[in-house]
Amino acid sequence: MPGSTLLAPSTAEPTTGPHRPGLVLTALLTCQLMIILDVTVMNVALPRIRDDLGFSATGLSWVMSSYTLVFGGLLLLGGRAGDLLGRRRLLIAGVTVFTVASLAGGFADSPATLVAARIAQGLGAAMAGPSTLALLATSFTDPRARMRALALFSGMASAGFAVGLIAGGLLTEWLSWRSVLFINVPVGALIVVLALLYVPEPARHPARLDLLGAATGSAGIAALVYGFIRAASDGWGDGLTAGSLVAGVVLLATFLLVEARTAEPLLPLRLFADRNRAAAFVNFLLGPMAGMSMFFFLTQYLQDVHGYGALATGVAFLPMALVLFTTTRFIAVLLPRFGPKPLALTGAVLMSTGIALLSRLDVDSAYAAGLLPSMLLMGLGMGLAIAPLNVVVMTSVPPADAGAAGGVLQTMQQAGATLGLAILVTVFGASSRDAAAAGAAPDQVLVAGMTDAFVAGALIAATAVLVALTFRSQRRADPV
């Protein structure tokens, strides 16, 4: 927006910082990490869950999909509900629901019980997630403190995918798959206590909840997410897949019409009026869309081709997680100096290069020479390309829209990860079938499918490069 700056406070809110800011930051960052971890933490435990509870081969996918479906479908509603009902209140309620659901899931004795617990976890995450980001933006009103806090939040959000694989491997190898869920109980309890004692409740903005927008928006996102999840397992020609995708598009079109005509919308379309903010939203979709391919396929590559165990698989991702988190620590210094365009552009190029290098893998590729360079490039690229996006968005929205903006960001992230994985799994399946038909060995079939999926992932990352070019260049007069 003309005259706006990245570091300027969004509106006239109190300029005093929160009481015990370190504990406030600890509570909010821990909440974000717990929510993001549950997207990937159960990946390496899936074989043991299947054997213990008797899941079918296709039913096992719902251990992951049920959480993503509810989380992604209800994020916008959770964001606006926090704006209207109180973000601290919704954060505490959401973490409580998530914690109780984790406890129930840890005691699950049937597939249905575990999937129901994962659905409840998704509900709790959708309640707490947007309020976590909004509270961070409104609690730290000093511009530089806010930028540091948001940069750390971005690092936690991005590194959480890799850390989830590491934590899942450790817990599954040393204890059992149930510990992956039980670990959330003490963590969730700690977050609730810290939030009750130290997290400030910003002023609420009384308004009517946009129920029609909530219904059409949440149902539309849920339908799209379900359609793409089903496409990965049943193919694009499946009737229910096509019906879900069409329904999702129609519902989201209806949602946009409702939001344009509603005085107090669930999703204020003015959030997209600023060019930098709109580009940040789009790349928050594309980054996870491309990056999830690395986690999903390399987990299988390490275990099925090279025989890694759950713990070794998790540790293999540690260098990438360390580079990613370290990079985000410098965002508070780099972003004011260079602005978002050079960081987003450089990061997107590094991401696409890292994924493209993976397309050269074969069954004999060593970890140090074949995988590690790509992981390091991805860690650095994601840190530069994705970590600043939270800062770009959350430092430029008014406090009244902070929850909605946080909901949009996290919706983009979840939808991107789910959509990207569905597309890349479809590419993987088609390529694998062709390799099998040509008489390739099982390991070669697996690698052929993965390398073609990595090519598709690199193309998605290249699209993020094009979007990064649309960021405004920093002018000399800009304080950022």
pLDDT for residue 16 is more than 50: no
Percent of the chain with pLDDT over 70: 86
In CATH terms, the superfamily for domain 21-200+266-468 is MFS general substrate transporter like domains (1.20.1250.20)
pLDDT, position 448: 85
Q: Report how far residue 125's alpha carbon sits from residue 41's, in angstroms, rounded to the nearest whole number.
A: 15
pLDDT, position 264: 72
Q: Report how far residue 78's alpha carbon sits from residue 407's, in angstroms, rounded to the nearest whole number.
A: 7
Task: Report which listed range, 198-207, 264-273, 468-477, is most confident.
Answer: 264-273
Percent of the chain with pLDDT over 90: 10
Cβ contacts of residue 1 below 8 Å, gap of 6+?
273, 274, 396
Q: For the chain, what are the domain ranges?
A: 21-200+266-468, 210-265
Least Cα distance to 196 among 95, 73, 271 occurs for 95
Within its chain, how far is the Cα of 184 from the centroid? 18
Token pair, residue 415, equals: 């939808």
Question: In 10 A of CB 154, how many CB atoms?
Answer: 27
pLDDT, position 1: 35
Q: At CA 92, angle to CA 326 and CA 75, rounded to 5?
A: 70
Q: Report how far residue 409's alpha carbon sits from residue 430's, in angstroms, rounded to the nearest whole number.
A: 32
Q: Report how far residue 131's alpha carbon sits from residue 137's, in angstroms, rounded to the nearest whole number.
A: 10
Q: What is the mean pLDDT of the chain?
A: 78
Q: How far is CA 105 from CA 47, 92, 118, 178, 255, in A?
A: 16, 20, 7, 8, 34
The least confident of 12-26, 315-329, 417-431 is 12-26
Torsion angles phi and psi, residue 398, rounded to 5: -70, 150
Question: In 10 A of CB 137, how many CB atoms?
Answer: 25
Q: Report how far residue 253's alpha carbon sits from residue 217's, in angstroms, rounded to the nearest whole number.
A: 9
The least confident of 87-101, 120-134, 400-414 is 400-414
Question: In 10 A of CB 60, how many CB atoms?
Answer: 16
Using one digit for the tens of pLDDT, what is the confidence trace for 187-212?
899 999 988 888 877 666 666 667 78
SS3 content of the chain, % helix, strand, coil (to 5): 80, 0, 20
Stretch 224-245: mean pLDDT: 77
pLDDT, position 207: 61
Going 448 to 451 to 457 to 462, the CA torsion angle's sign is negative
- Would you give the DSSP letter of residue 20? S
Q: Report how far residue 281's alpha carbon sits from residue 327's, in angstroms, rounded to the nearest whole number.
A: 21
Q: At CA 284, angle to CA 167 and CA 452, rounded to 5?
A: 75
- The band of 116, judged by pLDDT with boundaries at 50, 70 and 90, is very high
384's enclosing H/E stretch is helix 372-385
Token pair, residue 325, equals: 């988190």
pLDDT, position 478: 47
pLDDT, position 349: 92
Stretch 240-265: mean pLDDT: 86
Position with higher pLDDT, 462 vs 308: 462
pLDDT for residue 101 is more than 90: yes
Using one digit for the tens of pLDDT, what is the confidence trace for 387-427?
777 777 777 777 666 667 777 777 787 777 777 777 787 78
- The band of 371, judged by pLDDT with boundaries at 50, 70 and 90, is confident
Contact of 122 with 74, CB cutoff 8 Å = yes
pLDDT for residue 160 is more than 50: yes
Task: Report which listed range, 137-151, 215-229, 396-410, 436-450, is most confident.
Answer: 436-450
Stretch 87-95: mean pLDDT: 89
Taking the CA atoms of residue 451, residue 38, residue 124 and residue 66 in that order, the dihedral angle to the nearest 10 degrees is: 50
Torsion angles phi and psi, residue 8, rounded to 5: -70, 140
Task: Report which listed range, 262-276, 323-337, 345-359, is most confident.
Answer: 345-359
Residue type, position 275, single letter: R
Contact of 279 with 138, CB cutoff 8 Å = no
Q: Report how far residue 15's alpha carbon sits from residue 13's, in angstroms, rounded to the nearest whole number.
A: 6
Position with higher pLDDT, 150 vs 352: 352
Going 100 to 104 to 106 to 112, the CA torsion angle's sign is negative
pLDDT, position 17: 43
Contact of 331 with 148, CB cutoff 8 Å = no
Say whether 240 sits in a helix, a strand or coil: helix
- The band of 38, judged by pLDDT with boundaries at 50, 70 and 90, is confident
Within its chain, how far is the Cα of 226 from the centroid? 17
Torsion angles phi and psi, residue 147, rounded to 5: -65, -45
Task: Provide the residue count of the chain.
Answer: 480
